[in-house]
Amino acid sequence: MVREWDARTASSAELQSVLDTLNAVFMTDLPDDPLWQNSFLREYLAETMPGERRISWVAEQDPDADGLPGRILGYVNLLLLGDIGVVEVLVHPSIRRRGVGRRLLATAARRVYHEGFSALGVEVIGGTPAVSFYESLGFTREYVETRSVLQLSSVDWLALGEMARGVSAGYRIEFHPGGPDDPYMIEAYARAKAETRDVEDGDLELRPSSYDSQRLRDSLACLHRRGMKPYVVLAIHEQTGEVAGLTEVVVPAQHPTRADQYDTIVAQRHRGYGIDRAIKARMLFELRAAEPKLAEVQTWNAQANESMLKVNAELGFEPDRDWWEFGADVAEIAHRLDAERPS
């Protein structure tokens, strides 16, 4: 049975059932990834940025003989983001290849179609059954990133210290746990992020982005509500006060032993001064002090971004697997999946 589901009002048992399915998928498809915890799970699944909406459905077993609800074995999340609907489908490995994923996706695609969206996007992890699932439905691969993982236990901290001090004169490095709160610094931070907005690299932008000061404040607030602790390191050009570079890491309550590296940006006119290495190295030192339980950091980079891939390698990151963005026309997917429904 597939039904619409709201994490905000779901029972604790339902949340645990979704978590069990999520971790079963990880154990099968990403066995080296940490399992998720229930901490802030409800908030993670429910909270959104202003102007965005999240709709979810679950596939559950039929009630048992006593009328008790069955386990949730499938889940689809739909994020309505700008002009695109972004989907995430999870199906318990024990019931794969039985049409559950197709039924969940069809439900989400119909909603996107009826709400007037034209595009559907999804992040697909390379080397998993999701690749052939989406390709068989006509989704097209649009963008590729490589995920790399750093084991903090393997870091050469002496060498890292040299990198952290390797920024040229005229710049200072600042650490902002929780994100900067000074209005001027927020404005400068947002301007630095906005510089990358018009770079055409094929990214479908399936994750919320923040390119102005108010949206950046909203983004930081949303991260906190979702139980995702942000850490920001900024490189400041002392003569102008500009944010010359920035790097962001988030430590999620749901998997607190592995942090997620978000944007790392160096403004075009400030490149060549060692900023990228310095800010990422400084971040690792700060994380070691602030998050003693942290064991790993994962980051995603476009394969064409050779300079950042080189910096990551110098820091000790090891390439893990590809992460693909697939896109599709909503009407085509909705009609194709509807045609598969039994008459």
User: Is pLDDT above 80 for 202?
Assistant: no
Q: Considering only 99-103, 206-210, 224-228, which range has the smallest mean pLDDT?
A: 206-210
* pTM as predicted: 0.91
Query: What pLDDT does residue 338 have?
Result: 85
**Average pLDDT estimate for 264-276:** 92
Query: What pLDDT does residue 203 have?
Result: 53
Query: What pLDDT does residue 341 have?
Result: 73
Query: Would you state the structure tokens that stand for residue 252, as one six-digit string?
Result: 């999620």
Say how far residue 87 (Cα) sits from the centre of its chain.
Answer: 13
**Nearest of 134, 113, 115, 137 to residue 123 by alpha carbon:** 134
Query: Binning pLDDT at 50, 70 and 90, where does residue 185 land?
Result: confident
User: Is pLDDT above 60 for 78?
Assistant: yes
Residue 130, number of CB atoms within 10 A of its CB: 23
User: Is pLDDT above 70 for 66?
Assistant: no
Q: What is the C-alpha to C-alpha distance for residues 126 and 132, in angstroms, rounded to an integer?
A: 10
**Average pLDDT estimate for 81-104:** 93
pLDDT digits (tens, 9 = 90+) for 25-41: 999 999 999 999 999 99
User: Is pLDDT above 60 for 343?
Assistant: no
User: Is pLDDT above 60 for 68?
Assistant: no
Residue 76, number of CB atoms within 10 A of its CB: 26
pLDDT digits (tens, 9 = 90+) for 285-330: 999 999 999 999 999 998 888 889 999 999 999 999 999 999 999 9
Q: Is 47 helix (H, G, I), strand (E, B) or coil?
A: coil
| 220 contacts: CB under 8 Å, gap ≥ 6 | 178, 179, 230
Q: Is 7 helix (H, G, I), strand (E, B) or coil?
A: coil
User: Is pLDDT above 90 for 333?
Assistant: yes
Which of 218-231 are b and which e, b meaning 16 or more Cβ less than 10 Å from the residue's Cβ? bbbebbbebbbbbb
Query: What pLDDT does residue 207 have?
Result: 55
Asked whether 325 and 142 are in contact (CB, 8 A), the reply is yes
Query: Would you state the structure tokens that stand for residue 273, as one six-digit string?
Result: 């001064």
Query: Would you state the structure tokens that stand for residue 218, as one six-digit string?
Result: 């909203």
Query: Binning pLDDT at 50, 70 and 90, where does residue 201 land?
Result: low
**Average pLDDT estimate for 228-252:** 95
Query: What pLDDT does residue 1 have?
Result: 87
Pairing type for strands 258-266 and 243-252 reads antiparallel
Query: Would you state the structure tokens that stand for residue 163, as one six-digit string?
Result: 């990198």
On the CB side of 283, CA atoms within 13 Å amount to 32
Query: What pLDDT does residue 188 have?
Result: 85
User: Is pLDDT above 70 for 205?
Assistant: no
pLDDT digits (tens, 9 = 90+) for 146-173: 999 999 999 999 999 999 999 999 999 9
Averaged confidence pLDDT in the chain: 91
Q: Which domains does the chain show, CATH number per domain?
A: 2-145+325-340 (3.40.630.30), 156-315 (3.40.630.30)
Q: What is the C-alpha to C-alpha distance for residues 75 and 2, in angstroms, rounded to an integer?
A: 9
Query: What pLDDT does residue 179 have?
Result: 92
On the CB side of 5, CA atoms within 13 Å amount to 26
Run of H or E residues at 230: strand 228-237
Q: Report the percentage of the chain scoring pLDDT > 90.
A: 79
Identify the residue with better confidence: 17 or 70.
Answer: 17
On the CB side of 127, CA atoms within 13 Å amount to 11
Asked whether 139 and 328 are in contact (CB, 8 A), the reply is yes
pLDDT digits (tens, 9 = 90+) for 106-150: 999 999 999 999 999 999 999 999 999 999 999 999 999 999 999
